Amino acid sequence: MKIGIYCTNNLTYPLSAGSIYASMALAGQIADELVERGHEVVFFAPEGTKTRAQLITFDMLPFDDERIYSQYPHEGSSYQYENVMMIKALHYLTTHNFDVFHTHCRPFSVVDFAPIASELPVIATVHDPVVDSAFNILHLFNDFPNIHLVSLTNAQRQPQPKVHWSKTVHNGIDTDFWGYGDGGDYLLYSGRIIEEKGPDIAVQVALKSNKKLVLAGSIYPYSQGFFDQTIKPYLGEQIQYLGSVDQNTLKDLYQNALALVCPIRWNEPFGLVMTEAMSTGTPVIAPNRASVPEIIVNGKNGIITNTIEVNELVDAAQNIQTLDRKACRKYIELNFSLKKMVSDYENLYRELIQ
């Protein structure tokens, strides 16, 4: 098949150390794996990208390059910069007789332009939560038959039941990279340091269970106050904050942890950190909401709590060592691998082409 892939031209692929953009990482991995399977793949991305696919940049530098963002400092310019490549990509694919276009952009960056190429099946994998009222209009794009929206989990769809979702495809990870480890005695929190993801709750769980906690993730300007008030006062030998870490360091942290703690306060669309941890054998503690029950089998590869109440999470932390780490990894290999995800997308491509 002739397949086009696009996510963003704001960043290059692979991502630079410390950068977090899960959808770009997944788009690049999907492109590379499709090439390995013999497909003719074009990856639309900015200059500096490295890919096994044919790279088309349209001579565009990444928006995060100072030479670009200094020219366009207005808020929202990065989105418009992405849209320029979207339009160019659609034109390229239609004039070169491609079979399918698979995007990983913000939904409205796809649906606003996809009807231009009405004969080209356009798949839009939605990586964002669609709870904001801005997404309530999304169902009106059901009228355009070449647009095919894909959710990461069934739970992600629930706020927008009028949308014609084509399929759910769970994110997959490179299980060869996220290899098995024997574990250790500390709890781990991995992710952005924001209130919605509950790192402050993880701190209280560690303190009350008398376990060490390691936190790894970026602090954003808007969340600095949250960190200063709820996490910083507890930092020391027991509670350690490492900042943003590279993938190899994160892998080591997973491999040597007792458990990953994900006390989310929001409806997580997926949660890659859960699958990454479990691929290394580390089970996950998380509440019963959003994507969690689609990823964790309670008592097998993690413990699902009813709430994010600290005492309940502490009980889970005290019992997590009874889970079989090798069973955690096996479950991810069977259900959430990169190869499984790409096979699911291949099946969707074929369905749409036929």
Nearest to 266 by CA among 334, 194, 325, 331: 194
pLDDT tens column, 181-236: 999 999 999 999 999 999 999 999 999 999 999 999 999 999 999 999 999 999 99
Q: Reply yes or no on whether the pLDDT at 103 is more than 90.
A: yes
pLDDT tens column, 10-25: 999 999 876 779 999 9
This prediction has a pTM of 0.95
- Considering the segment(s) 2-172+337-353 as one domain, its CATH architecture is 3-Layer(aba) Sandwich (3.40)
pLDDT tens column, 190-204: 999 999 999 999 999
pLDDT tens column, 22-65: 999 999 999 999 999 999 999 999 999 999 999 999 999 999 99
Respond yes or no on whether the N-terminal peptide bond of residue 107 is cis (omega within 30° of 0). Answer: no
* Average pLDDT value for the chain: 97
The tokens for 4 are 């086009």
What is the reported pLDDT for 196?
Answer: 97
Burial class of residue 35, CB neighbours in 10 A (0-12, 13-18, 19+) = middle
CA distances to 82, 108, 115, 128, 181 from 105, rounded to whole Å, are 9, 8, 16, 9, 34
What is the reported pLDDT for 16?
Answer: 83
pLDDT tens column, 291-309: 999 999 999 999 999 999 9
pLDDT tens column, 168-180: 999 999 999 999 9
CATH number of 186-335: 3.40.50.2000
What percentage of the chain has pLDDT greater than the value 70?
100
Average pLDDT of 277-296?
98
pLDDT tens column, 326-348: 999 999 999 999 999 999 999 99
Query: Could you tell me the residue ranges of all domains in the chain?
Result: 2-172+337-353, 186-335
Are 183 and 277 within 8 A, CB to CB? no
What is the reported pLDDT for 185?
Answer: 97
Under the banding of pLDDT at 50, 70 and 90, the label for residue 273 is very high
pLDDT tens column, 68-97: 999 999 989 999 999 999 999 999 999 999
Whole-angstrom distance, CA of residue 98 vs CA of residue 100: 6
Whole-angstrom distance, CA of residue 49 vs CA of residue 193: 28
What is the reported pLDDT for 342?
Answer: 98
Under the banding of pLDDT at 50, 70 and 90, the label for residue 66 is very high
The distance from CA 72 to its chain's CA centroid, rounded to whole angstroms, is 27
Sheet containing strand 40-44, strands side by side: 54-56, 40-44, 2-6, 100-103, 122-125, 147-151, 165-168
The distance from CA 129 to its chain's CA centroid, rounded to whole angstroms, is 11
